[in-house]
Amino acid sequence: MKILVLGGAGYIGSHTVYELIDAGEEVVIIDNLQTGYAKAVHPKAVFYKGDLRDREFLDSVLEKEKDIDAVIHFAANSLVGESMTKPLKYYDNNLCGTKTLLEALIAHGIDKIVFSSTAATYGEPERVPILESDRTDPTNTYGETKLSMEKMFKWVGKAHGLRYVSLRYFNACGAHKSGKIGEAHQPETHLIPLILQVPNGKREAISIFGTDYPTKDGTCVRDYIHVTDLAQAHILAVKYLMEGKESNIFNLGNGVGFTVKEVIETARKVTGLPIKAVEEDRRAGDPAVLIASSQKARDILGWKPEHDSLEEIIDSAWKWHKSHPNGYEE
């Protein structure tokens, strides 16, 4: 297969490219390197630096790269906090970029897309684990734009025959087994890399926001998925579309949540180092428990997470952060 990966220099995108190339597939990457890194691009992938909002650029790539079988779309701004202070930036990049992309795909006869969505499309969950059929009522601009992108695929599908798979998930974590690529965000907002900044000498302590939630130890429970397992789910979704199957939405999760304190304790065990934690007040808008049911993805896509132990996830992340304390920057 020849797959176009948008945002293929980013965290989840780069790991998906590595898995595709390991499986012998041909990969073309488009990334504007706004949050991605040229060093994360697989040497065997064909890389074009450019922006999805630039139709001329997209057309030039699609004219050069004939016979693209499917697209995997990771390209988006994804900071929840920033999306609340700069909503128009998120509408511009996430929605306007996707609109221009779809115009180009239609013009070039490409009709299959796998979309990296988010469980933020659900907002405050009605129940846990969350099912695909549950209400979608995002509580932030980021989740709202991702939900709007899903709706765009749906209506374009009805009009132009586009088929899509949308994958909704929470916390991607861990790093590639080779140690060549991993998580590097500026600023970093994800729990596991923030915890690992403490033993790496980058941060004095990790904050625990709220210890009075109705959970087993009073701290928030979240679903964590190894980035390589996420990458495999995106590839299975491409294969599902290649088999001619209908558009669909799947949740991805390990189905088992871990509390903030459990994650910190596991990081202490993996690193063998003390990690200072400071208890602080709750943050506004943090639900007590967020866990997604991935039964549908297991049943229909045949997805089976292989790296779902928290210890393995943190161990792979620690190997990356220890050898790349500044991410991809020297």
Q: Is 113 helix (H, G, I), strand (E, B) or coil?
A: strand
Overall size of the chain counted in residues: 330
121-168 residue pLDDT tens: 999 888 999 999 999 999 899 999 999 999 999 999 999 999 999 999
DSSP string for 248-309: EEEEE--S-EEEHHHHHHHHHHHHTS---EEEEPPPTT--SEE-B--HHIIIII----S---
232-241 residue pLDDT tens: 999 999 999 9
Residues 237/167, Cβ–Cβ less than 8 Å: yes
Catalytic residue at 169? no
Quote the DSSP letter at residue 101: H
- Mean pLDDT within 248-277: 96
Domain ranges of the chain: 2-173+224-252, 191-223+255-323
Confidence at residue 65, expressed as pLDDT on a 0 to 100 scale: 98
Confidence at residue 189, expressed as pLDDT on a 0 to 100 scale: 85
Confidence at residue 324, expressed as pLDDT on a 0 to 100 scale: 94
Quote the DSSP letter at residue 95: I
Run of H or E residues at 59: helix 55-64
The mean-pLDDT minimum among 39-48, 50-59, 259-268, 319-328 falls in 319-328
Residue where the block lists tokens 């996707």: 98
Amino acid residing at 8? G
Confidence at residue 104, expressed as pLDDT on a 0 to 100 scale: 98
- Say which residue, 125 or 108, is predicted with more confidence: 108
* Res. 218: pLDDT tops 70: yes
* Res. 325: pLDDT tops 70: yes
Helix 97-107, helix 55-64: angle, nearest 10: 40
Count CB neighbours of 206 within 10 A.
19
Sign of the Cα torsion 187, 190, 191, 197 reads negative
* Res. 219: pLDDT tops 90: yes
Q: Is 191 helix (H, G, I), strand (E, B) or coil?
A: helix
Confidence at residue 205, expressed as pLDDT on a 0 to 100 scale: 97
Q: How far is CA 142 from CA 10, 133, 164, 241, 290, in A?
A: 17, 20, 20, 26, 17
Residues 153/164, Cβ–Cβ less than 8 Å: yes
Q: Is 214 helix (H, G, I), strand (E, B) or coil?
A: coil
Q: Residues near 49 by Cβ (< 8 Å), separated by ≥ 6?
A: 31, 32, 33, 38
> What's the predicted TM-score (pTM) here?
0.96
CATH architecture under which domain 191-223+255-323 falls: Alpha-Beta Complex (3.90)
Question: Could you say which of 18, 90, 142, 240 is catalytic?
Answer: 142
Residues 233/155, Cβ–Cβ less than 8 Å: no
CATH 3.10.20.30 assigned to 2-173+224-252: no
- Confidence band of 330 (pLDDT split at 50, 70, 90): low
Q: Burial level of 262, CB count in 10 A (0-12/13-18/19+)?
A: middle
Tell me how far apart the alpha carbons of residues 311 and 288 are, in angstroms, rounded to a whole number. 22
Q: Residues near 97 by Cβ (< 8 Å), separated by ≥ 6?
A: 51, 52, 53, 75, 76
Q: Residues near 81 by Cβ (< 8 Å), separated by ≥ 6?
A: 189
- Among 73-87, 181-195, 291-305, top mean pLDDT goes to 291-305
Q: Burial level of 55, CB count in 10 A (0-12/13-18/19+)?
A: middle
